[in-house]
């Protein structure tokens, strides 16, 4: 059974996806309360005034490991909202939001995780040896070990929630609405990119960086549609964020961590920084994944129509 078409077997009116998205957002907002409370208390204890507080001040007031833990905690709350929406609003299983296979293929998740983890780590190390002046050694064993614990536990939850919302839940929802594949792919990618518009990277690099965010959404969406499941996207996204958080950070990025290296260079927004990943690296990765998993029929899987299946054992719910 096709990945998007699985939604025909559950309650799939589009208003349910809007309400479900609201439920997820409410849970995620509730999950931000611990961070907000802790940051406000710390800010005031350091002599700051409540009237002068802004988001940037709150983001920098806590110790980085605690800051990371409390920020990522909201995604764990959001995941609870997702499970509630999927189970009780749609009568659906998490597995059917994950894949069209009979069970989740963890080998695919692991392959994408290790494959991209090795590549992204290698690129960071190569850049370090080519431009050592762009980095400072930031390694502190005790703080790094705490970072590893927090990152390994919570970053996969953060990345998985984003994948479940955009490449799973809303991909199926927009598919049921549009009855085609290109609109869900486009809509989820644009919304995914738009969710990053308030990241400090955008303030530092400018709106041109949105090409990278939307392009990443398109890449992950193509992975999902071509492979009939989210497993590759789950592994890729987790590796991208986890290895990045552990190996290198910068003062202008959304995640401030006790990483091994700190990038002190002045970031650019030229061809190499934004367009090469989207228009060179991602297409090469798609070709590699296509060879490994023997993808065919690209036109139908990315641009074809979606029709309700007609079988004796498949009941379409309105």
What is the per-residue burial (b if ≥16 Cβ within 10 Å, else e) of 280-314?
eebeebbeebbeeeebeeeeebeeeebeeeeeeee
- H or E element at residue 137: strand 135-137
Q: What angle do CA 34, 254, 64 make, to 5 degrees?
A: 55
Quote the pTM value: 0.93
3-state secondary structure of 135: strand
Is residue 317 one of the residues assigned to a domain? no
- pLDDT for residue 312: 45
Q: Total domain count for the chain?
A: 1
What average pLDDT does the chain have?
91
- pLDDT for residue 51: 61
| Packing angle of the helix pair 14-30, 64-84 (nearest 10 deg) | 150
Is residue 315 one of the residues assigned to a domain? no
Helices (H), 87-230: 94-98, 106-130, 141-163, 170-178, 182-194, 200-205, 210-227
Residue 268 has pLDDT above 80, yes or no: no
Is residue 311 one of the residues assigned to a domain? no
Is residue 310 one of the residues assigned to a domain? no
Cα(87)–Cα(72) distance, rounded to whole angstroms? 23
In tens, the pLDDT along 92-103 reads 999 999 999 999
Residue 202 confidence class, pLDDT cut points 50, 70, 90: confident
Residue 281 has pLDDT above 90, yes or no: yes
Is residue 295 one of the residues assigned to a domain? yes
In tens, the pLDDT along 3-53 reads 999 999 999 999 999 999 999 999 999 999 999 899 888 877 877 666 666
3-state secondary structure of 136: strand
On whether the CB atoms of residues 27 and 81 are closer than 8 A, the answer is yes
Domain that holds residue 68: 4-303
Is residue 312 one of the residues assigned to a domain? no
**Beta strand segments in 215-279, E:** 248-249, 261-263
Is residue 316 one of the residues assigned to a domain? no
Is residue 29 one of the residues assigned to a domain? yes
């Amino acid at each position: 059974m096709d990945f998007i078409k699985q939604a025909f077997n559950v309650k799939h009116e589009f208003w349910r996806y809007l309400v479900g998205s609201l439920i997820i957002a409410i849970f995620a907002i509730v999950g931000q309360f611990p961070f907000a409370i802790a940051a406000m208390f710390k800010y005031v204890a350091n002599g700051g005034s409540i009237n002068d507080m802004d988001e940037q001040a709150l983001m920098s007031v806590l110790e980085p490991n605690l800051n990371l833990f409390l920020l990522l905690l909201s995604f764990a709350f959001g995941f609870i909202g997702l499970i509630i929406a999927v189970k009780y609003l749609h009568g659906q299983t998490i597995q059917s939001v994950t894949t069209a296979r009979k069970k989740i293929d963890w080998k695919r998740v692991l392959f994408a995780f290790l494959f991209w983890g090795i590549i992204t780590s290698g690129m960071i190390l190569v850049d370090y040896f080519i431009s050592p002046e762009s980095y400072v050694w930031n390694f502190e064993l005790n703080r790094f070990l705490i970072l590893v614990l927090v990152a390994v536990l919570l970053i996969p939850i953060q990345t998985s929630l984003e994948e479940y919302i955009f490449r799973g839940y809303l991909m199926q929802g927009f598919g049921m609405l549009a009855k085609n594949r290109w609109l869900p792919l486009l809509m989820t990618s644009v919304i995914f990119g738009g969710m990053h518009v308030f990241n400090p990277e955008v303030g530092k690099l400018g709106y041109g960086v949105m090409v990278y965010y939307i392009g990443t959404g398109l890449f992950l969406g193509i992975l999902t549609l071509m492979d009939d499941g989210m497993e590759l996207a789950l592994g890729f996204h987790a590796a991208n964020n986890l290895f990045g958080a552990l190996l290198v950070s910068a003062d202008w990025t959304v995640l401030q961590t006790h990483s091994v290296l700190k990038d002190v260079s002045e970031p650019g927004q030229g061809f190499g920084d934004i367009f090469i990943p989207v228009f060179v690296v991602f297409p090469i990765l798609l070709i590699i994944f296509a060879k490994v998993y023997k993808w065919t029929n690209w036109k139908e899987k990315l641009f074809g129509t979606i029709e309700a299946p007609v079988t004796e054992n498949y009941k379409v719910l309105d």
